[in-house]
Structure 1
Amino acid sequence: MYAVIKTGGKQYRVQPGDVIVVEKLDGDAGAEMSFGDVLMLGGDKGVTLGAPLISGASVAATLVETRKGEKIKIFKKTRRQGYRRTNGHRQMESVLRITGIAGAGETAKWDGTVDLMTKAEMNLRARGLAPRVDETEAKPAKKAAPAKAAAPAKKAAAPATEKTEAKAAPAKKADAPKAEAKKAPAKKAPAKKADKAGDDA
């Protein structure tokens, strides 16, 4: 089950267990929060759209931390006036863990499994740069391992083709002396012209 919520003037698609970064919210780390501005719900019963909000729907979350975001550089310049100014800004933001979704006759809760991840991994996941990997997606990766074992066989076949090309290369070199033999008579032709010139004299 998933939901689209609105907070801080932005919209976020969330599902139980997700970690998201939103504009700064009041509260201490570990505080429970609830969002009533639910724009859309999706689940087993289908998709429910709000007009603009879904009445009675809510999304529960836990405040993980409040921190400063990445630095934004501000550079101002007026050409030919010697005016240059550089500043930086770090916006305050809150990291949330979605714990539950309720509405449209359905409820979904996060099972509470704690996945061990570093702060850097949490940052990437919160910004959507490192999507969650389900167990079903991880299994095909294990099946792909035998394909890597088959790769050396292809590499072994590649040198064989190089050898065949190497055998074909000397045959081309044998053709080269014939071309030189054809060029030799062309050099004799100017000598004949010189003899004709001598006869005319």
Structure 2
Amino acid sequence: MYAVIKTGGKQYRVAAGEKIKVEQIAADVGQEIVFNEVLAVGNGAELKVGTPLVSGATVSVTVLAHGKHDKVSIFKMRRRKHYQKRQGHRQQFTELLVNTIAG
């Protein structure tokens, strides 16, 4: 069984027992979270697609860790103008373990 959930402005296809990294969520490590924004639920050949959400469907997850992704380097340059700018960014994430999918 799998589901498509929406969190942090993105959509993720999840199944029970999977670990996923999503945009940072304000929750403590070990805390259980329930996602109500479920866009689709599939079980074998059967698929329920919401308009836009599947009514009554929930996905419960446990927060495993918080962290930062690898650094992304940004380099801006204007040729012949003696302009160079270096910048870096590390996006924060929350790692989740999918417990159950209901609906």
TM-score under structure 1 normalisation? 0.50
Instruction: Write the distance in 1 (CA, Å) between the matches of 2:46 and 2:78.
Output: 56
Q: Look up the match of 1:99.
A: 99
Provide, for residues 40-68 of structure 1, a one-character-per-residue CA deviation record: whole Å limited to 9, x for no partner: 00115711110000111000000011111
Over the aligned positions, Cα root-mean-square deviation in angstroms equals 1.1
Larger Rg: 1
Q: Look up the match of 1:21.
A: 21
After TM superposition, list the pairs within 5 Å mapping 1:160-171 onto structure 2.
none
Q: Look up the match of 1:63.
A: 63
Give the count of matched residue pairs: 103
Point out where structure 1 has 5 or more consecutive residues left out of the alignment: 104-201
What is the Cα deviation at residue 32 of structure 1?
Answer: 0.5
If asked which structure has higher relative contact order (CA below 8 Å, sep 6+), I would say 2
Instruction: Write the distance in 2 (CA, Å) between the matches of 1:44 and 1:10.
Output: 24
Amino acid aligned to 1:68: K
Point out where structure 2 has 5 or more consecutive residues left out of the alignment: none
Instruction: Write the distance in 2 (CA, Å) between the matches of 1:16 and 1:76.
Output: 43
Amino acid aligned to 2:34: S
What is the Cα deviation at residue 81 of structure 1?
Answer: 1.2
Amino acid aligned to 1:54: V
Runs of 4+ in 1 over 4 A off after TM superposition: none
Q: Look up the match of 2:75.
A: 75
The structure carrying a bigger helix percent of its residues is 1
Percent identity between the aligned chains? 48
Instruction: Write the distance in 1 (CA, Å) between the matches of 2:89 and 2:53.
Output: 34
Q: Look up the match of 1:7.
A: 7
After TM superposition, list the pairs within 5 Å mapping 1:61-140 onto structure 2.
61-103=61-103
